[in-house]
Amino acid sequence: GESVGLHLPTLSVQEGDNSIINCAYSNSASDYFIWYKQESGKGPQFIIDIRSNMDKRQGQRVTVLLNKTVKHLSLQIAATQPGDSAVYFCAGAPTGGGNKLTFGTGTQLKVEL
Amino acid sequence: DGGITQSPKYLFRKEGQNVTLSCEQNLNHDAMYWYRQDPGQGLRLIYYSQIVNDFQKGDIAEGYSVSREKKESFPLTVTSAQKNPTAFYLCATADRGLGYTFGSGTRLTVV
């Protein structure tokens, strides 16, 4: 339902540490998931995606883990840098839902120097 | 922004006025979407279109209208019926089986 007034949770990490951003989904029919990064005043940018037939996928400094049993998705960022400071959204698409993604509320990542 | 152009970047609307936000793409993607984002919140779907001359309401369509006369263009009109239009508006496109590509957004403010 509506989440008006719900503000984004915040994750603060020290520069150089690893970051883990979590996302829960409710639709067990979802079979495609994406993580986006949104910097202030800009549109979201694609980071990494994963299909439900996979448990893990790695990119450059990022790893996405999918646990279908508990409907949980996580984004791990290795050696977090100041440029990683942004809002991170997960999104999912159900089987047969075409391209229509449903977005999570997002997490604000703050990197402390 | 990957071939998606949103304009203007900033837009000011007076009370009772209709305004139109532009979204143009050269990615040859069939699907196009409009989202609204309020400060500190996630993305809410306004309207989407899977093909030319067809579109569907999203979760918060009231007070908005769209058209899809060309594959490249999906303009959004914020009508006077939208009582709280101040927000950041994002247009996105999608190709079959792939995720969205977003534009850079339009920030609309009521004055």
On average, the pLDDT of chain A sits at 87
Mean pLDDT of B87-98: 87
Tokens of B83: 């009582």
Residues in chain A whose beta carbon is closer than 8 A to a beta carbon of chain B? 3-4, 6-8, 32, 34, 36, 41-46, 49, 89, 91, 98-101, 103-106
Q: Grade residue B98 by pLDDT with cuts at 50, 70 and 90.
A: low
Write out pLDDT tens, residues B39-81: 878 899 999 999 999 999 999 999 999 999 999 999 999 999 8
Which segment of A1-10, A65-74, B6-15, B28-37 scores lowest on mean pLDDT? A1-10
* Angstroms from A14 CA to nearest CA on chain B: 22
Answer whether A8 sits within 8 Å of B31, measured CB to CB. no
CB < 8 Å to A106, chain B: 41-42
Query: What residue in A sits closest to B10 (Cα-Cα)?
Result: A41
What percentage of chain B exceeds 70 in pLDDT?
A: 96
Answer whether A103 sits within 8 Å of B98, measured CB to CB. no
Q: Which residue has the tokens 């150089």?
A: A16
- What pLDDT shows up at residue B46? 96
| CB-neighbour burial class of residue A47 (10 A; exposed 0-12, middle 13-18, buried 19+) | buried
Query: How high is the mean pLDDT in each 10-residue block of chain A (113 residues)?
Result: 55 96 84 92 93 94 94 95 95 71 89 93
Contact B69, B55 (CB under 8 A): no
- What pLDDT shows up at residue A7? 58
Nearest by CB to A6, which of B1, B41, B105?
Answer: B41
- What pLDDT shows up at residue A31? 85
Nearest by CB to B100, which of A3, A41, A101?
Answer: A101
Q: Which of A30, A45, A99, A108 to mutate to test binding with chain B, by most B CBs within 10 Å of its CB? A: A99
Strand residue runs (E) in A27-106: 30-38, 45-51, 56-58, 62-67, 72-77, 86-94, 102-103
Mean pLDDT of B101-105: 94
Nearest by CB to A89, which of B42, B48, B92?
Answer: B42
Contact B31, B97 (CB under 8 A): no
